[in-house]
């Protein structure tokens, strides 16, 4: 038995998200089917975390165990030959048997794209959230800096029955920049609560539109979801990278 690490990139538009569901096509199910097709075994994939419907990945990581004697590096090519074009395995390698894509993850980086233009763009609507009114980039930048540090993020996640008990996470870096009408936000942390990045972005948008007079620091201190903004749309979110060391 070998433990195989996969780095995967996908356009989440046509999927119900990472996780298997009964009445919809998921990334996980599509990948497991392609792998089983190659290995002739049942496949159980473990991912670094779920992504929601419409959310994209540049570097999702997952792993599975197999008795197949396909060389580890060749798995990427073999699996890709069985996948639709909107999912690509960009790397495959053998890792230590103890490696678990979810529990071994040390850092994650997410990217969120905001298209700040009055006019919608047919090439961007699946890969960004459009905000028609001009956003105050200076004010947003100041607030992005307030995200860095170790905090209780209770104001910034969606309650679920299986939420982790501890809402403390550390953000190592956060950055926002603008290129023409496209704003790119990047955030790196040791972990993220459910919808945390999208709620942070929704709050930054409210701040950038001068619709929330509190700053990020004050909203963190409230420890109450009501003070943060709406959850920003899934199509602007990209899981960029997962680090394991």
Q: Pick out the residues of the known binding site.
A: 110
Tell me which of 42, 52, 136, 215 is the catalytic residue: 52
Strand bridging mode 56-66 / 237-243:
parallel
Does 119 bind a copy of itself (CB under 8 A)? Our answer is: yes
Q: Pick from 4, 5, 10, 92: which binds a copy of itself (CB under 8 A)?
A: 10
125 binds a copy of itself (CB under 8 A): yes
Q: Taking CB under 8 A as the rule, does residue 15 contact a copy of itself?
A: no
Q: Is 224 one of the catalytic residues?
A: no
Q: Which stretch binds a copy of itself (CB under 8 A): 84-92, 133-141, 158-166, 170-178?
A: 84-92
44-68 as b/e, with b when 16 or more CB fall inside 10 Å? Answer: ebbbbbbbbbbbbbbbbbbbbebeb
What is the SS3 string spanning 168-213?
Answer: EEEEEEEEEEEECCEEEEEEEECCCCCCHHHHHHHHHHHHHCCCCC
Q: Is 11 in the site for a copy of itself (CB under 8 A)?
A: yes
Using rule CB under 8 A, residue 85 touches a copy of itself: yes
Least separation in angstroms between CB 172 and a copy of itself: 25
123 interacts with a copy of itself by CB under 8 A: yes
Q: Residue 110 forms beta bridges with which residues?
A: 187, 239
180 binds a copy of itself (CB under 8 A): no
Contacts with a copy of itself, residue ranges (CB under 8 A)? 9-11, 56, 80, 85-88, 90, 119-123, 125, 127
């Amino acid at each position: 038995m070998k433990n195989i690490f996969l780095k995967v990139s996908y356009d989440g538009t046509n999927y119900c998200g990472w996780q298997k569901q009964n009445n919809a096509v998921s990334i996980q199910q599509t990948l497991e089917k392609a792998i089983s097709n190659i290995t002739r075994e049942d496949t159980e994939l473990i991912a670094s975390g779920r992504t929601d419907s419409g959310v994209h990945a540049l570097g999702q990581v997952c792993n599975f165990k197999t008795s197949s004697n396909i060389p580890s590096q060749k798995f990427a090519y073999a699996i890709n030959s069985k996948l639709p074009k909107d999912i690509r395995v960009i790397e495959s390698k053998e890792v230590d048997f103890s490696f678990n894509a979810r529990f071994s993850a040390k850092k994650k980086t997410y990217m969120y794209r905001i298209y700040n233009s009055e006019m919608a763009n047919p090439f961007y609507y699946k890969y960004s959230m459009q905000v028609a009114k001009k956003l105050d980039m200076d004010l947003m930048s100041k607030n992005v800096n307030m995200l860095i540090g170790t905090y209780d993020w209770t104001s910034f996640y969606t309650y679920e029955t299986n939420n982790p008990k501890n809402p403390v996470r550390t953000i190592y870096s956060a950055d926002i920049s603008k290129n023409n009408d496209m704003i790119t936000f990047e955030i790196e942390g040791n972990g993220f609560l459910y919808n945390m990045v999208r709620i942070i972005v929704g709050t930054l948008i409210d701040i950038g539109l001068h619709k929330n007079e509190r700053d990020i620091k004050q909203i963190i201190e409230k420890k109450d979801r009501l003070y943060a903004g709406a959850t920003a749309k899934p199509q602007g979110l990209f899981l960029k990278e997962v680090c394991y060391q």
